[in-house]
Chain A
């Protein structure tokens, strides 16, 4: 494929999706009057709708472009991501979804701060959330930049700016109502697109996936069905696995979705719908990845983008021609735009609801004021996303999202669990656990080959000889336990009687929710 060849179907698809989502935004904007609407869609979303919206928020560019690319270039190892992205969901539904809905209002920080001192906990938790949001945004922007460059021949930087501006419009005017509906439309589009693409691939193998896999082994050796090509280091594999599993339960934009439904039961049921959609999609990535490996070939995929991110669009072109390439690219673009909107909204909630209202204004800001700050924060985050997207050009997006999961699993997940299950957990413990979890993950990522060799362009010898040497690419195996231990030790050193007294109220409200005023 020629880079920059203008694709009419793709342009039509892009325009259609953007037009449709702006109409949604316009309708949503008329209904977005309070913070309850802006952050939580008025708590009016049904289980089925929220299931699709969760799926939409979760299946990012990493899932569609990144995993297909990793499977196409590394075989079985790419599937470790597919599987890891799903196994976090039983943890979310069993431990997190219902307590979150019953205890909080807008952000997961509401839960951690429930019986602790508000200001210190909120500053720490907002820091953790923003770190996750930043890394997650990088991955999405990189994916979007590649895609638009490939299709329209626009400069990568221009492409990143366009995504930033369109996303800003949804969030700024439509808030959570618009964002939720954009997610739902996108989830349906993505599932349909992936399904059609998989069917077109299987058509060539008489609808037998095994014939496809067998063809892959014939062309590239039996090694493609065995682990070891991408994850050569055992510790790295385990570390990545743990980060993926426990990271899901700490992603601020996913957790925020549980506040958009009316009650805990709806939150729980929506996870069942979400995982049905997400699991089906990940099973399809097996076919898309190996399909691209066989029908496009590993070398052409790597030639277009070193990270392999363009495998799925190239596969669409190979099996369905220019028109289908246009359709699949529009779907991928919609995917990215929607996830970026969800992430930005979560980041804005952390800045406005957690930091501005509860720390600077001690919980006494008017709704109008909070809404204004949230919208200001949205603009700031959109600018940040654009800058980061440009800085991290050329990384595999699934891998970058793996790092965001490592931060979520180390910063947010331990504090969330301990605040709900352990009576002795204290304000200082929560602060320390979140800040040490965030900082240690960021430092170890900085010391890894990704930053030292790929971004800073040090040679292997320079990297190994310097102080900033950490041999593993994903730090989850070390930072998740570190965060738990920090929280436990600090809490034990200085008990907090007030927090212990609040535990009975927390235990009660976890199950019955907020009592209706009589």
Chain B
């Protein structure tokens, strides 16, 4: 019981680390983007080629980043985290 509890604590800590890291990354990227919107309008308005400004490119990149971060999280939890929580749950039930 105490062993499975320790095991769960380790898995849990790993999941929170990844979750907080990804959340922090998304927040930093997005806040960076809106700070540029707020304080560096000329940069975002720079036209790279006809019809394409830096702002549009960064905006699309922010959307793609959100996708990538979600995929990273879902892939990791589906392949690693779920199995280990299942192990813990089995161990607990056998222990009872």
Q: Which A residues contact B (CB, under 8 angstroms)?
A: 76, 79-80, 82-84, 86-87, 89-91, 93-95, 98, 209-217, 222-223, 225-228, 231, 234-235, 237-238, 241-242, 245, 265, 268-269, 271-272, 275-276, 279, 282-283, 286, 507-508, 510-512, 515, 518
Report Cα–Cα, A203/B89, bound state, in Å: 56
Within 63-82 of B, Cβ neighbours of A (below 8 Å) are at 63, 66-67, 69-71, 73-74, 77-78, 82
Q: Which B residues contact A (CB, under 8 angstroms)?
A: 8, 11-12, 15, 18-20, 22-23, 26-27, 30-31, 33-35, 37-39, 41-42, 44-45, 47, 49-53, 55-56, 59-60, 62-63, 66-67, 69-71, 73-74, 77-78, 82, 85, 88-89, 92-93, 96
Report Cα–Cα, A271/B27, bound state, in Å: 18
Query: Can you pick out 21 interface pairs between chain A and chain B where the beta carbons lie within 8 Å of each other?
Result: A80-B34, A83-B59, A84-B30, A87-B62, A90-B70, A91-B23, A210-B49, A222-B45, A225-B52, A225-B55, A226-B55, A227-B45, A231-B38, A238-B35, A238-B38, A241-B37, A265-B82, A275-B67, A512-B88, A518-B93, A518-B96
Report Cα–Cα, A225/B30, bound state, in Å: 19
A286 contact set on B, CB distance < 8 A: 56, 59-60
Report Cα–Cα, A91/B53, bound state, in Å: 28
Cross-chain contact A512 with B37 (CB below 8 angstroms): no
Cross-chain contact A237 with B34 (CB below 8 angstroms): yes
A-B contact count (CB 8 A): 159
Q: How far is the CB of B64 from chain A (nearest CB, A)?
A: 8
| A contact patch SS | helix
Cross-chain contact B67 with A512 (CB below 8 angstroms): no
Report Cα–Cα, A73/B24, bound state, in Å: 33
Among residues of B, the one whose C-beta sits closest to the C-beta of A235 is B38
Known contacts A228-B41, A511-B12; decide if A265 and B78 are in contact (CB<8 Å): yes
Cross-chain contact B53 with A93 (CB below 8 angstroms): no
B53 contact set on A, CB distance < 8 A: 76, 222, 225-226
Cross-chain contact A279 with B66 (CB below 8 angstroms): yes
Cross-chain contact B67 with A276 (CB below 8 angstroms): yes
A241 contact set on B, CB distance < 8 A: 30-31, 33-34, 37
A223 contact set on B, CB distance < 8 A: 45
B71 contact set on A, CB distance < 8 A: 272
Report Cα–Cα, A238/B36, bound state, in Å: 10
Report Cα–Cα, A508/B89, bound state, in Å: 11
